[in-house]
Amino acid sequence: MKIFNNPLIRVVAAFLFVGVLSLSIHTVRSSVSSAPDFPTASIDTKSPVVVIEIPAGATGSEVGQILFENKVTKSAVAYFRAAVADPRSAQVAPGAHELTIGISAQQALAQLLDPARIPNLIKVFEGGWKSEIIESLIKYGFIRKDIDTAFKKVVLPQGFSNAEGLLFPAQYSFPAGTSALEAVQAMVDRFSDEEMGQELLAAKGKLTPLIQAEGGKGDFDKVSRVIRNRLEVSMPLQLDATVHYVKKLRGEIFLSTNSTLIKSPYNTYRNYGLPPTPIGNPGAEAIAAALKPAVGDWLFFVTVAPGDTRFTRSHDEFLTWKALFVKNRKEGVFK
């Protein structure tokens, strides 16, 4: 149209367009910021709760709608606004969540992120055995027969034939209808997806679970070095954790002489080298230590007291420290 050939008309039209656009944005923002929301609630043991189900892949708006429909929040938009403003909302796990009714959107998000509010949460702790994870799956509601089938059918990384050592330590919650195979596969896939897990898979190392079982906070890398040093000089590893794995014992700090004589390929007191398969599921620190051990010539280590683990190459010094360990154990230092 010729009317828009006039420069003045075009300028006026541009200003009008910007004005309308600004008004629209302001209106949208106002509607979001003024979304109905409950005030921050005072929560106690008597506060009413409801268990909701978050589907896998649910968007923030979909989660908001679920919360609103279950009377957790005053509006779906209030939660959506809180989720958009907080990057942690992407960590909300699918599955069941126990939430308080009539709380603010911020409180709802906090509760969705709280593992304690996930009923029957499956916890794979660092160093956990497959046998312990199987018991957790049973408590979660899976049938033993289905679990056994799942471990037979689970797709493992190339070069591995056993899921032990490949079940990533984390807290898991699964949507209703999840099969045992899907649950187990999710744990293995999580390990494969982690960057350190990928490096470990590439190395195909079996020593990482040993580091997890024998090490402690701050000394995983030293334990890693001791194991490597022993392997290099063809010295038996003689690690208590391998016997505990065979006997399925947790929390034991004493190992009898008879226990070291158990006939098992996992008993590193009787057999040289690494166990035939991993003996647990390592965490991030143990994996990092396996990939980058400390520098040292140590061949022995012993924890003489809680928080006091000592490393040495001298067998005589080791025996002195071992005597101190025995003395402290008898005096109840480790209780």
Check: CB of residue 188 under 8 Å from CB of residue 167: yes
Q: What is the DSSP letter of 176?
A: T
Give the residue among 70, 71, 69, 117 at the shortest CA–CA distance from 93. Answer: 117
278's CB contacts (< 8 A; 6+ apart) are 162, 164, 165, 166, 206, 208, 209
Q: Is 70 exceeded by the pLDDT of residue 8?
A: no
Q: What is the DSSP string of 230-267?
A: HHHTT-----HHHHHHHHT--S-----TTGGG---TT-
pLDDT of 192 > 90? The answer is: no
Cα(287)–Cα(281) distance, rounded to whole angstroms? 10
In the DSSP assignment, the letter for residue 2 is G
Could you identify the residue written with the tokens 């990384």?
A: 157
User: With bands split at pLDDT 50, 70 and 90, how would you rate the model's confidence at 182?
Assistant: very high
The residue among 332 and 254 whose pLDDT is bigger is 332
Q: Rounded CA gap, 125 and 122, in Å?
A: 10
pLDDT band at 284 (very low <50, low <70, confident <90, very high): confident
What are the pLDDT digits (tens) for 15-56?
444 444 444 444 444 444 568 999 999 999 899 999 899 988
Contact 17, 24 (CB under 8 A): no
Kindly indicate whether the domain formed by 49-117 is annotated with CATH number 1.10.287.110: no
Residue (of 66, 85, 47) closest to 175 by Cα position: 66
Q: How far apart, in whole angstroms, are the C-alpha atoms of residue 253 and residue 126?
A: 18
* Stretch 81-98: mean pLDDT: 91
CA-based radius of gyration for the chain: 28
Residue 99 pLDDT exceeds 80? yes
Q: Residues spanned by CATH 3.30.1490.480 within the chain?
A: 49-117
Structure confidence at residue 88 (pLDDT):
92
Q: How many CA atoms lie within 13 A of 317 on its CB side?
A: 9
- For residues 308-323, give the mean pLDDT: 96
Give per-residue pLDDT as tens, 122-179.
888 889 999 999 999 998 889 999 999 999 999 998 878 889 989 988 888 888 789 9
What sign results for the dihedral spanned by CA atoms 123, 226, 312, 250? positive
The predicted structure's pLDDT at residue 269: 96
Q: What's residue 11's pLDDT?
A: 42
pTM of the predicted structure, to 2 decimals: 0.65
Query: Taking all residues of the chain, what is their mean pLDDT, rounded to a whole number?
Result: 86
* Contacts (Cβ under 8 Å, ≥6 apart) of 182: 174
One-letter identity of residue 185: Q
